[in-house]
Amino acid sequence: MRGRFSGFRIINLIVGTAMIALGILTFSDPAVALSGLLAAYGIAAIAIGVIDVITYIRIERFTGFGPVISLIMGILGVMSGIMLFAYPNAGRTALLLLFPIWFIAHCISRLASLPVIRFRYGTGLYIFSLIVNAIGLVLGFLMLFQPSLSYLSISIVSGCYLIVLGTDSIISAICGRE
């Protein structure tokens, strides 16, 4: 008999906690967010990408478009994270493009997995996830098409969104049924 938390749920809990901590740091010191935390954003993108790939592996038996999107978005997330981590100076410029794409990619992945979330976790988390990821999708497109908005507000928007996204991951880990 397995314990209360499976390995996947523990990873979700750790990633959620890390995203909340990163969101608080980003929100509290916006200048640091654009320079010193670039590597941390890369690590977060890699971790979320890995979670998306694990999601694909866990739900590959389901047919449809959702599981394939999780795999593609997971790979893109890992690639974006490696780029941000490996090239922090180039990452500052690329952040204006990659960060909104990462927001959009992750939100599409989570939206495509909504039927599974509803089935596994219930209607409450389904609605919460739907709202959070729909807002993230809108913010991602706003930052993509308004680079000046992205540059001026990336730390505040990303800090708040990382806190909400981390909360979503923690709720998924705690409320999940195995």
Q: Domain coordinates of the chain in residue numbers?
A: 7-175
Q: Tally the C-alpha atoms within 13 A of residue 148's C-alpha that lie toward its C-beta.
A: 0
Using CA atoms, how far apart are residues 160 and 73, in angstroms rounded to an integer?
22
Q: What's the predicted TM-score (pTM) here?
A: 0.52
pLDDT per position as a tens digit, 86-144: 777 677 777 677 777 877 888 888 888 888 888 888 888 889 889 988 988 888 888 88
pLDDT value for 15: 85
pLDDT per position as a tens digit, 44-93: 888 888 888 887 887 776 656 667 777 888 888 888 888 777 777 677 77
